[in-house]
Each structure stands twice: as structure tokens, then as C-alpha cells.
Amino acid sequence: MTDDGFVVWFTGLPGAGKTTIASIIQATLRGRGAKVELLDGDEVRTWLSPNEGFSREDRERHLRRVAHVCELLSRNGIIVLASFVSPYRSSRDYARSTIGNFVEVYVKCSLETCMRRDPKGLYKKASAGKIGNMTGMQDPYEEPTSPEVVIETETSTPEDSARVVLTRLAVLGRLR
């Protein structure tokens, strides 16, 4: 393990598997004695930005807050697993520049597969017109241009994806 905190920022469409993979990594790192915190998009939004909507401006403001929290935790030796759709490159670029010790993981999955999985029923609600600004449907998802890790969850199990991320963190010198 390392004594230095860092942030692993998982980005991808809703239903791609970000939090599932981050949870496996969290359990693995805790089992190794690491100080690690998982920040899940839905949970954090409830507490950090309960009055924000899903406009581009609201999402970017929310993610600036998240980046600040990640920076605070990581500079105090915590490994932060940040699981957020974070659909805009500008928000992810801001997080990278604010945090510094930052690893971007693109959890890549087709919209069709995410819609089929639909663990929270969001795509179904968006298709029925019950929610708007759904990422991948009414609102764009801007793919990362140079993430440190890309995992394709259509062809990889969550456990295999977690192993890929952990291996890459070791290669990057974040983990011993």
C-alpha cells in the first residue's frame, strides 16, 4: 500500500458498472489495510448537492464540489474511489487539475447494454418522458480522451475489471 492518498475517478454511462467495480476495489484495498473511501454519485448528491438539478451547469457545480471533497480526503492520505457519471470532459478536467494525484477510469459500455441493464430504472423513466436530461439519451456523454484506464464492461466481469484497475494502479506507482 501507499501512505499517499489519491483519487480514482470512475466515469461512464449510468449502468456501466462504475460503482460495482469501485465497491470490489474498495473491499480489496480495505482487506490490504488501506484507508479508502467510496464516493457514489447518487449518495453524494443527496448530501452534497440536494438542490441541484441535472442541467449542465448544475452537474458541473456539483462535480466541482465533489472534486474539492476528493482533494481534501486524498491530501490526508485517503484513497478515494469516486464513482460519478461525470458526463462532461470539462468537469473531469477540472477534477484532474484540482486533485493532482488523479487516475481516470473510463468504464466503457454501450448505451444499448446500459439500457438493458438499467439497474435503477432511469432509462425506462427517460424513455417514458418521466425524467429529462438523461445522460446518453437527451444529454451527451463526452468520452474521455486519455484516461489512465479503460475497462469494457460488456466483455469483462466486474471482478476482472477490478483486477485490471488494481494492476494499473500498481503500474502507475499508486499501490505497492
The half-sphere exposure of 76 on its side-chain side, counting CA atoms within 13 A, is 9
Task: Tell me whether residue 90 is one of the annotated catalytic residues.
Answer: no
CA–CA separation, 102 and 5 (whole Å)? 10
Residue 24 and residue 116 in contact, taking contact as beta carbons nearer than 8 Å: no
- Of the candidates 49, 74, 83, 86, the residue annotated as catalytic is 86
Are the beta carbons of 98 and 24 closer than 8 angstroms? no
In angstroms, the CA 117 to CA 92 distance is 25
**For residue 142, what is its C-alpha cell?**
463526452
Indicate which residues carry an active-site annotation: 86
